[in-house]
Structure 1
Amino acid sequence: MLIDDNEIDLFINQKVIEFCHFTKRLLTYSSGREALEYLLSAPVVDIPDIIFLDLNMPVVDGFRFLYEFSKFPDHVRNKVSIVVLTSSDNMRDKEKIEVNPDVIKFLSKPLNDQKLEQIRVLKENQPSN
């Protein structure tokens, strides 16, 4: 799942993910609220293993998304790894993200093949839930 309110960033990162064959199915959302609604209503088998999340979005920003996600049932939270993908270079943002147990990586936009490989390795080395 890719969540970003910026259409250009969403398009570019979607194309990189598709080009690198990172996933068989990619859901894209331009709103954190829409993504949360999907995650709340979707059957567990349809919930993605990885969410690429922008921080700076209107209405439901990345921090609010993470807060709401932290209230999800364990069977959902244990399935999903969140990668914060942002243009923010704010050290406070990074520090807040690094202590979040649902986030496995903080990356700067845009995605590229090396960054996706980092995520792939992180996922492979994660303990099974």
Structure 2
Amino acid sequence: MLVVSFGAFAGNGTDNGEEKVSGYTKSNFNYQFNGAENVTWASSARFQKATFTKEGKTLTAFYNNQNELVGTTQVIQITELSPVAIKNLVKSYPNYQMGEIIKYSGNEEVYYVNLKNESKNFLVEITPDMNVQFFKTIK
């Protein structure tokens, strides 16, 4: 899963020196996200990442080593989830506090919701058909 891979980018979002960001990737980005502001770049062995602002929203775009856009992520509010997704989330995981919600847009749109209580902290995935399933424990 890509979200697991994207976790390697924790940090300040600037070019981290592991690998330089490709000029082709930057050209693709400029074409795909024309008008993006406050762009910062980072790279790792698997991905190149641009964090930026567009139309007042902060997004992150991920590119593979072939300079192709893999997907974007964006932190969203619960009000942006469908009522069906919210109902399924509450039904499947009652008595958990909701944290950050990340919208991933790639081949399909998927949401990742951080849930926690006194002893557990984990992510669930909301699939395109609005099913809610455990995704990953957070340590």
Task: Tell me the TM-score normalized by structure 1.
Answer: 0.29
- Structure with greater strand percent: 2
Asked which structure has the greater CA Rg, the reply is 2
- Structure with greater helix percent: 1
Looking at both structures, which has the greater relative contact order when contacts are Cα pairs under 8 Å and sequence separation is at least 6?
1
